[in-house]
Amino acid sequence: MAKVITQETFDDVLKENIVEFSMSVDEAREETVKQFEAQGINLTNIIRDLNLNPQTGVPLLKESLEYLISQKSTLHNPDEDIFEHLFTITAECKLSVPHRVLAAKLGAYDFIVETLGKDEYPNAELFLKLSQAANSIINKHPDIFNIQSLQVILRFLVTESETTVLCDLLRWLQKACVLHETNRQMIMGDDRSVKQFKTLLQHDAADVIKNVCALFRFLVLDDDIRVEFGKAHEHARTLGTETVTDVTKLLFKFKTDQDLVCDLLLTIATLTVRNELCQVVEDAGGLKFIMDAMVEFPESVKLLREACKLLKALAGNDAVKLHIVQNGAAPLIESALNRHKDNETFARHALACVAVLALRETQNSKALFETGIAETIVQTMKIHPKSKVIQRNGAWAIRNMVSRSRDQCDAFINYGIEDVLNQALKDHLSIAHDIKSALRDLGCKVHLNEEWKAQSDIQINHD
């Protein structure tokens, strides 16, 4: 079994080489590694590249934290030295996850939360530096987030109005949500959270709105493999019920900011997880806005992509699905797909949108077909033969369009779809079922596997 040492032991020997033997930092680091490796010690758990004070040999991270702790009583009136040491902690934690883990073990995160949790209101610049440091420590290290952190953040979200501060606090919550279901449930479990987030949607700053929307999307993640069952759907339902109307109305308030509009569209699509919420979005003007935006910004691939995502989500409501096409979405989708069919990311979302709109809706299928989208779908699939997602989504779109409109089959076949699907069948075995379904509904020759067949020699005992 390989021998291991602690980070503290490694740092002590490194310090000894610098102080006692007057080595430079680089020389001391090289010599220390050689010493331990010669003893057969495994150093994979050691951070070898910690920045050190060349005079004392102490890691800057540890030195800065010790200084800040020693100045606890004067933090209410900080000087440049305090700001400099906070900057050092932030810079060190940006280097790697192991640096952040070490900072947390040394107590840096707890120190920040404790300092911000005190009754006296912190200096504005100090608050900003502390929140930046907290963000750097918790990044991809969400296990350190706790109820005290949440209480501090919610407290300042109420009292602060400065855009920079609010954005830092919201990013702090976002980082706590990544890969951590417990933190997401903790945040949503506090009755103040959703109310405060909803209040922030009234802020005039686009950056604040953007970070609130990002937080909503982080709160409905389902990416923690340590948890068997998450609450992503419940969180989306709660946030959607409380805020989707407000978020939809923001589309009109910030209609000239394309980046923010894209964020808003994505957020609405993420939160629209129930039938009634689709209707809420339409009633709030969301459907009309999408149509207008697709006309106004035909060259914005990002906006068109997010629009297709939202249309797909809204089509979860059968009544809204019909309204989408009745309001003129079919020619807009065909035009967008035809114009940007070379863009793989956009194409796969546009095809998925077509598939959902045509599903079990003959009138929608007819309206889409009349735009000439059949040829566009085939051309798109020909352009991206190696993209499994595009081949699958294209097969879905074709199957849903022709399954109740057999008169469309000849057009697809004349454009060469049979060869395209047969090639996809060879190249992408994992989506064979989807490809074969499209071939079957087109009336093309296809070999369907018999999944189960009864054995003729089985005798049934009637006793």
Contact between 41 and 3 (Cβ < 8 Å): yes
Torsion of CA 236, 277, 267, 208, to 10 degrees: -90
Give the model's confidence band at 3: pLDDT under 50 very low, under 70 low, under 90 confident, else very high: confident
Taking alpha carbons only, the member of 301, 312, 274 closest to residue 397 is: 312
Measure the CA–CA gap between 242 and 261, rounded to whole angstroms.
20
Measured over the CA atoms of residue 360, residue 361, residue 364 and residue 366, the dihedral's sign is: positive
pLDDT tens sequence across 333-356: 999 999 999 999 999 999 999 999
Measure the CA–CA gap between 90 and 95, rounded to whole angstroms.
9
Residue 326: pLDDT over 70: yes
Residue in the block written with tokens 């079922």 = 433
Does an H or E element contain 440, and which?
helix 432-442
Residue 456: pLDDT over 70: no
pLDDT tens sequence across 216-260: 999 999 999 999 999 999 999 999 999 999 999 999 999 999 999
Q: SS3 of 4, please?
A: strand
Average pLDDT over residues 430-448: 93
Kindly write down the DSSP assignment for every residue of 56-117, as one continuous string.
T--BHHHHHHHHHHHTGGGTTS--HHHHHHHHHHHHHHTT-HHHHHHHHHTTHHHHHHHHHT
Please tell me the number of Cα atoms within 13 Å of 258 on its side-chain side. Answer: 12
The predicted structure's pLDDT at residue 302: 97
Residue in the block written with tokens 């706590």 = 176
Give the model's confidence band at 58: pLDDT under 50 very low, under 70 low, under 90 confident, else very high: very high
Residue 48 φ/ψ, nearest 5 degrees? -85, -20
Number of C-beta neighbours around residue 241 at 10 A: 15
Measure the CA–CA gap between 93 and 139, rounded to whole angstroms.
9
pLDDT tens sequence across 281-297: 999 999 999 999 999 99
pTM score: 0.92
Average pLDDT over residues 274-278: 97
Q: Which value, in Å, is the radius of gyration of the alpha carbons in the chain? A: 29
Measure the CA–CA gap between 187 and 176, rounded to whole angstroms.
9
